[in-house]
Amino acid sequence: MDTVNLTIDNKPVVVKEGITILEAASGIGIDIPTLCHMKLDDLNIENKPGGCRICVVEVNGRRNLAPACCTNVHDGMEINTHSMRVINARRTVMELILSDHPFDCLICAKSGNCDLQDMAHKLGIREIRYKGEQSTYREDTSPAINREIDKCIMCRRCETMCNEVQTVGVLSAINRGFESVVSPAFEMNLDHSVCTYCGQCVAVCPTGALTEVDETGKVIRALSDPSKTVIVQTAPAVRAALGEEFDMEAGTLVTGKLVAALRRLGFDHIFDTDFAADLTIMEEGTELLNRLGKHLAGDKDVKLPILTSCCPAWVKFFEHQFPEMMDIPSTARSPQQMFGAIAKTYFADKLGIKREDLVVVSIMPCVAKKYECGRDEFKTNDNPDVDHAITTRELAALIKLSNIDFKSLPNEDFDNPLGESTGAAVIFGTTGGVIEAAVRTAYEVHTKKELPRLDFEELRGMEGIREATIDFDGLPIKIGIAHGLGNARKLLEDIQAGKSKFHAIEIMSCPGGCIGGGGQPYHHGNVEVLKKRQVAIYQEDKNKAIRKSHENPHIVKLYEEFLGEPMSEKAHHLLHTSYFDRT
Amino acid sequence: MAKIKTLADLRKIKEEAQSKIKLRENSDNPEQLIQIKVGMATCGIASGAKDTMKYLVEELEQEAIDAVVTQTGCMGYCYAEPTVEVTVPKKEPVVFGYVNKEKAREIIDMYIKRGELIDGIIPVNFKTIDE
Amino acid sequence: MTEYRMHLLICGGTGCKASESDEIKNRLNKFISDSGLQNDVQVVATGCFGFCEKGPIVKVLPDNTFYVEVKPGDAEEIIKEHVVKGRPVKRLLYTDPTTAKHISDSKGMDFYKKQIRIALKNCGFINPENIDEYIARNGYEAMGKCLTEMSPEDVIKEVKDSGLRGRGGGGFPTGLKWEITRNVENEQKYVVCNADEGDPGAFMDRSILEGDPHSVIEAMAICGYCIGADKGLVYIRAEYPLAIQRLKIAIKQAEEYGLIGDNILGTGFNFNLELRYGAGAFVCGEETALIHSMEGLRGEPTFKPPFPSVSGYMGKPTNVNNVETFANIPVIINKGATWFSNIGSDKSKGTKVFALAGKINNVGLIEVPMGTTLREVIYDIGGGIKDGKAFKAVQTGGPSGGCLTKDMLDIPIDYDNLLASGSMMGSGGMIVMDEDDCMVSIAKFYLEFTLEESCGKCTPCRVGNKRLHEILEKITEGKGEEEDIERLNELSMVIKDTALCGLGQTSPNPVLSTILNFGEEYKAHVIDGKCPAGQCKSLLRYDIVEDVCTGCTLCFRNCPVGAISGERRKPHYIDQSLCIKCGVCFDKCKFNAITLT
């Protein structure tokens, strides 16, 4: 690789050719401020419009200032990142951004987590010399995402996520000049668009322009209603990320403290979505084996590959984009909805209360879950199986609001019966986890033999599309994995073209899977955070005594007492669903 | 339209087409060409200027002499109609009187082709002006 | 084959068509057949003659009579008097404003005397809808010469030697651009013609496409041969329907002749052309934005590098040149680089087309050698300032250019001189201002334009220009403070320094150049509260001089807002809080009793 010599702030440095000034500077500890730029290395995600102009630097001999994020280094470059000209320009640009941004930091949902606020502080902005008209737009709310685009600074990160990464194509820049803003086409409402509510726009928004719909108020109201029994389920990815909200190192597992906090918040029973994840494996794994069995028996009509269906954004995505392929995904409901269905029947019966008096709250790494629990097919007599879905971030806010010192909490255990889970369920929280869990069970059910190993490294990682062949005792099962809807689209197009070689495919909408969900603590563009969460998830799996879903004793009991067997009529009624053409 | 398959084809079409706009080309660079003005006011027309003009145009065309033949108003020599003013590049204009077909033939052969002066020149003591 | 003895050329450009040139043409034809002259006289609709101030224009050949401001009703007289009887219709001739004499031959007109027409050589001369007329004027000869006698390197060398620079604004050397694109290896490359002319008042590209579309087609094919592209795209704004129509006809005719398409002139070279329509966004004249627009994306610029020559349309190497640049190419090939480079100034070769507009007598399209002075253009060709007013400034380079003062009138116009004097060549818009123009308002006007046309991508252009505009608005409303001038300067400098593309980087130019050259006018606004040009209404004050007012009540009766009061035969008064400064009272008063300060 060719190298180039240059100086940055008078420091000589030798770097490889083709990298940017920003990268070269960061290599020698010079932290050039950026606002619109975002790069998630291992996920192949980059937003580099060169639009905010915060990262400008002075390059000797150049007429104007150069944006460090998109200017490549070349030999002999002399760069100054903090000359008076640069600082003046950077501050002026920042003042301009702020001059068109609402001044409601004190009451903004993003306060304390806002990249714009941090940058204003870093640049030491104390007054705004250029005051004037501020752009105003209509606020837009949807079942999952709020858009308050007065606060949009045109960084275009959401647009990159929505278009390049997710290929959903809802958000893009509209209007010209001062009126430019990122919005759905024709400024339509998000809930009229093909938005999947994956929440990746929310995950990367540097300001409060895009946020989740806040449901903490509803949860507080339910908890204070003496006539209600309020139970909570918590998704696997939450335990690997919640600690970050309390200044704990990324990747710290806080399962025990999470349970303790939920108990202190006043939930009557603290359950685990992991239990329902095990249940999902029973149903989905059985469905896979059924289809596979028919296929092996020569049935030409059977739909293969089977696609996982636990991600609500993914479900909405194919309902909009590939309606002709709705018979390919598994019919199994997501763990959140399986939990709700069992809670409001089996568990309500056990407590001897009416479903209306049982409130199910879920803690999710996801904003699409808010939308999912509102879908009509998941309601009985207008009473939803899951009443409120709140994100990891909202839970953190509730804990802070309730004066709980999270860090000093003891480790506590989930309640039974819906709190017992296996390692297979935990790994639902990362890309590749669902299919690995399914393999662990399907292998043993199919071969009637014990798995020689439990860790399928070939299914793990951060590559956007992965594939592996698992030997089911002589039967090679070809597995595909995609995370990020753009990657999912590629595999779907292969299926459409009849080119897919897979038997089963796992799809997660968010890059990294649920650990990178739109409801997780903000990663602020640092991909290491996601990688550490992934490590934590696999660690939790290792720590579990039972690591195969079909060995979960409470799952076994649930089938004996209530459901009969996987894919039974009752299971079908409570645990499976159907899809709708949304085109 | 037939396809133009070679550069030679193109040049052939050019030649044909050029003849159609030659008049425009010529009038764009009149100072480099022989300019002939035929007096075509009432007096001129009455004396047969139309025929003279037609004859000049056709003959010059025939002999491939690049000349601009235009009509002009009365030149003031009504007694000598039809009158024709001939300007050969870099020479002073010369006005001929009583130009019938025969005289026109003579102007072409003697004056235009060989530069020899012939009878019938009206002494010029004015310049064509546009006011 | 009919040999017409007389040709009547009538302008068929957009401007003259709007003044009924189609109807004039129909009537001319009618009276020609009425006189039985249909085999002797031909009427030809051509492209723009350039002298738009006096359009529609009818030129009678061979005697070169140039009729101006012709109306359909004049057709009969032209035919019956001029064509039949040889008597020019004097009242339709151009009158020289200084000598007050009729000028019959356009060559004798000052407007044309100093022009050299290269890019416009066929405009107003040939019928743009007839490929044969183009071929007759050496059309496609240059392409033929390139394909059969010259290697792509030879052609590029010729273009480089000619010194031709991009006519779209930047002035980048055209040959060098071609060479760079040629040297990028890729199986698929593209030639793009930028016909997204967006400067206010500029219409040279439109006129070339309307008047001589084949010159652009031919040049694009030559460019394709040089860089190794078999596909050309013309990005043209949908607001140019006539240019689009003429271009379509031209492409069809060239295809029918096989002059574009596969195996052109038997050389094995293939070149196909397509049109792409823009929605008329100014920023789409920026080449990366233009390419994104053609790709179906939002028309906004992206950071360069990569330059289009490396990664352009669909990620393939793409050479983008503007219409006028292309129109120069065939002439350069036919007449040679030396011929071309002998025209013009030291570093700017050839000619430049300018669209003269504003407070000038001869509004129109002109083509002059580089190095012609502003004075020659404005006074000799443009005929000076309208209504005998004093010249104040000339804005070159469109909304991104600067305003030059009367001290700069003797600057020879070329890329470098204009830049050095704080303006730019741009695409050749030239707007003349007189003593009645307020330079603060002019700066505001241009900023309004860039503000609306900004793509909104980068902060300095999206927000910075808005703030500049707000400050200017404040000043013209009489609410400016002295510090505002410094604020304008500072913000302008940062915008120039940090904006993403050429539009943003140059958008403060009108502000900076007016502050530099007309600083006193700014000061008059913010310190004295006066607009010297009397344009900023908020800074005007109408008063009635008591001693002079006769109490005739005329002003009182005409005031639209009831701001004037007073008894009959007694002095009247203006209530300043109600006055909207419309000036009606001032105009109506018969006794000069109303003052404007």
Of residues B120 and C118, more confidence is placed in C118
Is the predicted pLDDT of residue A382 greater than 50, yes or no?
Answer: yes
Least Cα separation, residue B56 to chain C (angstroms): 12
CATH number of the domain encompassing residue C577: 3.30.70.20
Q: Does the domain spanning A225-275+336-408 belong to CATH 3.40.50.1780?
A: yes
CATH fit for domain A3-99, picks 2.60.40.10, 3.30.70.20, 3.10.20.740, 3.30.360.10: 3.10.20.740
A493 is catalytic: no
Reported ipTM: the value is 0.92
- CB contact, 8 Å: A62 with chain C? no
For residue C283, tell me if it sits in a domain.
yes
pLDDT, position B74: 66
| A414-423, C96-105, C316-325, C542-551: range with lowest mean pLDDT | C96-105
Q: Give the E-state strand segments of C382-529 in sequence order.
A: 391-396, 402-404, 429-434
Least Cα separation, residue C75 to chain A (angstroms): 47
For residue C495, tell me if it sits in a domain.
yes
Please give the Cα distance from A279 to C402 (Å, whole number). 72
Same domain, yes or no: C242 and C328:
yes
- Helix ranges (DSSP H) in A224-346: 255-265, 273-296, 312-321, 335-342
Q: Tell me which residues of chain C have a C-beta less than 8 Å from any C-beta of chain A.
A: 281, 283, 298, 300, 302-303, 305, 451-460, 462-467, 470, 487, 490-491, 494, 496-500, 505
Mean pLDDT across C433-442: 94
Least Cα separation, residue A45 to chain C (angstroms): 18
A287 is catalytic: yes
Residue C498 CB contacts under 8 Å (≥ 6 apart), including other chains: A53, A56, A64, A65, A89, A92, A93, C458, C459, C460
Q: Which residue of C has its CA nearest to A72?
A: C305
For residue C233, tell me if it sits in a domain.
yes
A78 is catalytic: no
- Which is the catalytic residue, given A330, A362, A500, A549? A330
Q: Which of B3, B21, B38 has the CB atom closest to C133's CB atom?
A: B21
Q: Do B130 and C63 touch (CB under 8 A)?
A: no
- The strand pairing partners of C509, in sequence order, are none
- What is the enclosing helix (H) or strand (E) of B58? helix B49-62
As given in the structure block, the two tokens for residue C280 are: 């008329």
Place B129 in a pLDDT band, splitting at 50, 70 and 90: very low
Interface test with B, best of C3, C4, C115 (most B CBs within 10 A): C3
Measure Cα distances from A559 to A255, A289, A346, A563, C95 in Å: 27, 18, 11, 4, 104
Place C1 in a pLDDT band, splitting at 50, 70 and 90: very low
A514 is catalytic: yes
Q: Which of C454, C487, C491 has the CB atom closest to A176's CB atom?
A: C454
CATH number of the domain encompassing residue C515: 1.20.1440.230
Same domain, yes or no: C454 and C553:
no
- Which is the catalytic residue, given A369, A370, A531, A532? A369
pLDDT, position C83: 84
Q: Which residue of C has its CA nearest to B56?
A: C5
**Phi-psi group of C18: left, alpha or beta (phi > 0 → left; psi -120 to 50 → alpha; rest → beta):** alpha
Q: Do C466 and A133 touch (CB under 8 A)?
A: yes
Same domain, yes or no: C466 and C451:
yes
Same domain, yes or no: C99 and C193:
no
- CB contact, 8 Å: A97 with chain C? yes
pLDDT, position A421: 94
- CB contact, 8 Å: A51 with chain C? yes
For residue C345, tell me if it sits in a domain.
no
Same domain, yes or no: C174 and C270:
yes
CA triple A424-A553-A350, angle to 5 deg: 115
Least Cα separation, residue C561 to chain B (angstroms): 53
Domain boundary among C401, C434, C467: C434
Please give the Cα distance from C460 to A92 (Å, whole number). 9
A540 is catalytic: no
From chain C, the residues in CB contact with A207 under 8 A are none
Same domain, yes or no: C161 and C264:
yes
Mean pLDDT across C411-439: 90
- CB contact, 8 Å: C61 with chain B? yes
CATH number of the domain encompassing residue C11: 3.40.30.10
Q: Is the dihedral of CA A358, A359, A362, A363 positive or negative?
A: negative
pLDDT, position C98: 76
For residue C535, tell me if it sits in a domain.
no
Q: Do C463 and A71 touch (CB under 8 A)?
A: no
- Which is the catalytic residue, given A212, A319, A372, A394? A372
**Residue-averaged pLDDT of chain C:** 91
CATH number of the domain encompassing residue C414: 3.10.20.600
Measure Cα distances from C78 to B23, C31, C69, C113 in Å: 19, 9, 13, 25
pLDDT, position B26: 74
**Residue-averaged pLDDT of chain A:** 95
Percent of chain C with pLDDT over 70: 99
Q: Do B5 and C138 touch (CB under 8 A)?
A: no
Of residues B60 and A303, more confidence is placed in A303
**Model pLDDT for residues A292-312, shown as the tens digit of each residue:** 999 989 888 898 899 999 999
Same domain, yes or no: C142 and C157:
yes
Mean pLDDT across C48-69: 87
For residue C123, tell me if it sits in a domain.
no
Domain boundary among C414, C434, C454: C434
Domains of chain B: 1-28 (no CATH), 33-122 (3.40.30.10)
Q: Do A178 and C451 touch (CB under 8 A)?
A: yes
Number of residues that make up chain A: 583
CA triple B24-B28-B29, angle to 5 deg: 125
- CB contact, 8 Å: C86 with chain B? yes
Q: Which of C7, C86, C102 has the CB atom closest to B24's CB atom?
A: C7
Mean pLDDT across B11-35: 80
In chain A, where the domains are located: 3-99, 140-212, 225-275+336-408, 282-332+421-575
Q: Which domain holds residue C43?
A: 6-108
From chain B, the residues in CB contact with C4 under 8 A are 20, 23
Q: Do B23 and C137 touch (CB under 8 A)?
A: no
C293-297: which pairs have CB atoms within 8 A and are 24 or more residues apart? C293/C235, C294/C192, C294/C233, C294/C235
Is the predicted pLDDT of residue B124 greater than 60, yes or no?
Answer: no
Q: Which of B7, B27, B130 has the CB atom closest to C62's CB atom?
A: B27
Same domain, yes or no: C328 and C361:
no
Please give the Cα distance from A139 to A208 (Å, whole number). 12
Interface test with B, best of C149, C257, C267, C269 (most B CBs within 10 A): C257
Number of residues that make up chain B: 131
Place B126 in a pLDDT band, splitting at 50, 70 and 90: very low
For residue C459, tell me if it sits in a domain.
yes
From chain B, the residues in CB contact with C138 under 8 A are 14
- CB contact, 8 Å: C373 with chain B? no
Q: What chains are in contact with B, requiring at least 3 Cβ pairs below 8 Å?
A: C
Q: Can chain C be said to touch chain B, i.e. do they have 3 or more Cβ pairs within 8 angstroms?
A: yes
CATH number of the domain encompassing residue C280: 3.40.50.11540
Is the predicted pLDDT of residue C24 greater than 70, yes or no?
Answer: yes
Q: Do B130 and C258 touch (CB under 8 A)?
A: no
Place A339 in a pLDDT band, splitting at 50, 70 and 90: very high
Q: Which residue of B has its CA nearest to C65?
A: B27
Please give the Cα distance from A492 to A509 (Å, whole number). 13
Please give the Cα distance from C299 to B4 (Å, whole number). 39
Place B117 in a pLDDT band, splitting at 50, 70 and 90: confident
**Model pLDDT for residues C344-368, shown as the tens digit of each residue:** 998 899 999 999 999 999 888 999 9
A162 is catalytic: no
Q: Is the dihedral of CA A8, A11, A12, A16 positive or negative?
A: negative
Q: Do A100 and C466 touch (CB under 8 A)?
A: yes
A55 is catalytic: no
Number of domains in chain C: 5
Residue C307 CB contacts under 8 Å (≥ 6 apart), including other chains: C180
Q: Can chain B be said to touch chain A, i.e. do they have 3 or more Cβ pairs within 8 angstroms?
A: no
Domain boundary among C320, C340, C360: C340
Q: Do A96 and C460 touch (CB under 8 A)?
A: yes
Interface test with A, best of C283, C293, C462 (most A CBs within 10 A): C462
C46 with C127: CB under 8 angstroms? yes
- Which is the catalytic residue, given A148, A159, A244, A284? A284
Please give the Cα distance from B21 to C121 (Å, whole number). 14
Same domain, yes or no: C199 and C56:
no
Q: Is the dihedral of CA A121, A126, A131, A136 positive or negative?
A: positive
Same domain, yes or no: C242 and C102:
no
Q: Do A53 and C499 touch (CB under 8 A)?
A: yes
Q: Do C62 and B68 touch (CB under 8 A)?
A: yes
CATH fit for domain A140-212, picks 2.60.40.420, 2.40.110.10, 3.90.550.10, 3.30.70.20: 3.30.70.20
CA triple C10-C16-C19, angle to 5 deg: 115
**Model pLDDT for residues A235-294, shown as the tens digit of each residue:** 999 999 999 999 999 999 999 999 999 999 999 999 999 999 999 999 999 999 999 999
Q: DSSP letters of A34-79?
A: -SS-EEEGGGTEEE----S-TTEEEETT-SS-EETTT-B--TT-EE
As given in the structure block, the two tokens for residue B31 are: 């100072």
Same domain, yes or no: C168 and C245:
yes
For residue C146, tell me if it sits in a domain.
yes
From chain C, the residues in CB contact with B71 under 8 A are 63, 85-86
- Which is the catalytic residue, given A205, A514, A531, A549? A514
Least Cα separation, residue C6 to chain B (angstroms): 8
Same CATH fold assignment for domains A3-99 and A225-275+336-408: no
- The strand pairing partners of A15, in sequence order, are A4
Place B127 in a pLDDT band, splitting at 50, 70 and 90: very low
pLDDT, position C188: 96
A369 is catalytic: yes
Is the predicted pLDDT of residue A563 greater than 80, yes or no?
Answer: yes
Least Cα separation, residue A133 to chain C (angstroms): 8
CATH of domain A282-332+421-575: 3.40.950.10
- The strand pairing partners of C100, in sequence order, are none
Same domain, yes or no: C495 and C562:
no
